[in-house]
Amino acid sequence: MVSFVTIQNKLTMNLTTDQKRYLEEWMSFLRIPSVSADPTQKEAVRQAADWVKNALDKVGCNHTEIIPTAGHPIVYGEHLIDSNLPTVLVYGHYDVQPPDPVELWESPPFEPVIKTTPLHPEGAVFARGACDDKGQMFMHIKAFEIMRNEGSLECNIKFMIEGEEEVGSNHLEDFVKNNKEKLACDVILISDTGMISREQPSISTGLRGLSYMEVTVTGPNRDLHSGLYGGAVANPINVLCVMIAQLHDKNKRITVPGFYDQVEELSLNERKVMAEAPFRLEEFKKSIGIQEVTGEEGYSNEERRTIRPTLDVNGIWGGYTGEGAKTVIPSKAHAKISMRLVPNQDWNEISDLFRKHFQSLAPKGVTVSVQTHHGGYAYVTPTNNIAYQAAHQAYFETFGIAPIPSRGGGSIPIVPMFENELGVKSILMGFGLDSDAIHSPNEHFGLFNFFKGIETIPRFYSHYCELQKKTN
């Protein structure tokens, strides 16, 4: 295997001095295992917060601070020029997903390396958080540095970088509610989404909501010998599997009563516009190693991934899972289940509907508990405001082709919360690709995408400020 140094030198030989420095800084950030879900990494998460604050200090923010919460801290920074100028609030997060399963990584998740891929011939940085969201958030810090150095900054900038996005942003809403004046702005800029391809950029105009549940099926009061008790008592794992199988019908529709009552149905024309985005089904299947796609009947593959609600089991466990054999009927079986929601679906209401339905599926001989972990609402941003127009022009200038508006399948629950509490829209300027394997082993972010983001973001500011002048 080629060493990291050899690969890096080969792939970065044409980078400018500043670009090489950006890359080195980014990789030092990625080495911090800031896994917010892991209590043993609490100190690492705090170290990442310190890193972000220092980075904002170095690029010239005139005020920065680390703000404690009941969980992980929020990093706040600002560079205020003139109260009469527009203000952009940049949101991002410095925490990352757990790297598990670690054995599937081709290189250690917190030892970033640069490797070429078919989609990234110039190279991509492989590490947990490379794309989601350390790499994309860091682009904004470097874009700010460039604008300050060039004297091209024409607005106020605020940064709000949190450390709990991957665990539901549990304490961010309280912070926002209690700091509305500090966070007052004209638009919120976020890069925590992706685009269609390197050749065809896109701007996310919608996000799905989320309801995240955990269920437990309990049978006997202890693990039992399967030879002595098998066939005589309900096996919680068997029961759980049967219950989960009943959550979809033969047409792949979710069976929770009332689940679809508030679902927004897009018009045929809206679906036609969506279908114009380039998509090759065979390439999609090949990219994730499957023979066929599946999903709700009556909708295309891309519609299933973006504008339709879904229900998926994210994890299931119980009984003996170690090496070798241990013949038991487990006392308990567990599963984590997420539902992606669309506009007009209330995640609290959906959580309650799921709880009632799932408990109703339980046969006699077991008890069922259902816990709601977290959730959020769907979000749609208009394409006729000046922030979207500014982003559109910025992408067009750097990529040489007009970006396509597209709805994303993921969830960022805090985006609708921002609008409710701060009264402003968010613009989602993502530069990642579906192939970047976020939340999976071997997550990566292409050097082309990283530097193209740093090039595009300052152009957004320029066009946004110009359009603001014209409207005032």
- Identify the band that residue 233 occupies on the pLDDT scale cut at 50, 70 and 90: very high
- Output the pLDDT for position 269: 85
The answer to whether residues 22 and 454 touch, using CB atoms and an 8 Å cutoff, is: yes
Is the pLDDT reported for residue 8 higher than 80? no
Kindly state the average pLDDT of the residues 298-310.
Answer: 94
HSE-CB for 213 with a 13 A CA cutoff? 27
Q: Does domain 209-263+309-376 have CATH number 3.90.1200.10?
A: no
E runs forming strands in 200-299? 202-207, 209-218, 224-225
Question: How far is 167 from 164, CA to CA, in rounded Å?
Answer: 5
Where does 4-207+378-471 sit in CATH, by number? 3.40.630.10
User: 53 Cβ partners below 8 Å, 6+ apart?
Assistant: 64, 65, 66, 75, 77
* Strand partners for 213: 337, 372
Where do you find CATH 3.30.70.360 in the chain? Answer: 209-263+309-376
The residue among 229, 447, 245, 210 whose CA lies nearest residue 335 is 245
Nearest-10 crossing angle of helices 386-399, 447-471: 140
- Output the pLDDT for position 265: 86
**H-only helix segments in 411-446:** 414-422
Is the pLDDT reported for residue 369 higher than 80? yes
Where does residue 18 fall: left (phi above 0), alpha (psi -120 to 50 degrees), or beta otherwise?
alpha
Write the DSSP string, 88-132.
EEEEEE--B----SGGG-SS-TTS-EEE--SS-TT-EEESTTTTT
Where do you find CATH 3.40.630.10 in the chain? Answer: 4-207+378-471
CB atoms within 10 A of CB 100: 13
**pLDDT tens track for 269-282:** 888 877 888 888 99
- Identify the band that residue 326 occupies on the pLDDT scale cut at 50, 70 and 90: very high
- Identify the band that residue 12 occupies on the pLDDT scale cut at 50, 70 and 90: low
- Output the pLDDT for position 1: 22
**pLDDT tens track for 151-205:** 999 999 999 999 999 998 989 999 999 999 999 999 999 999 999 999 999 999 9
User: Across the chain, what does the average pLDDT equal?
Assistant: 94
Query: What share of the chain has pLDDT > 90, as a percent?
Result: 87
Question: How far is 66 from 166, CA to CA, in rounded Å?
Answer: 19
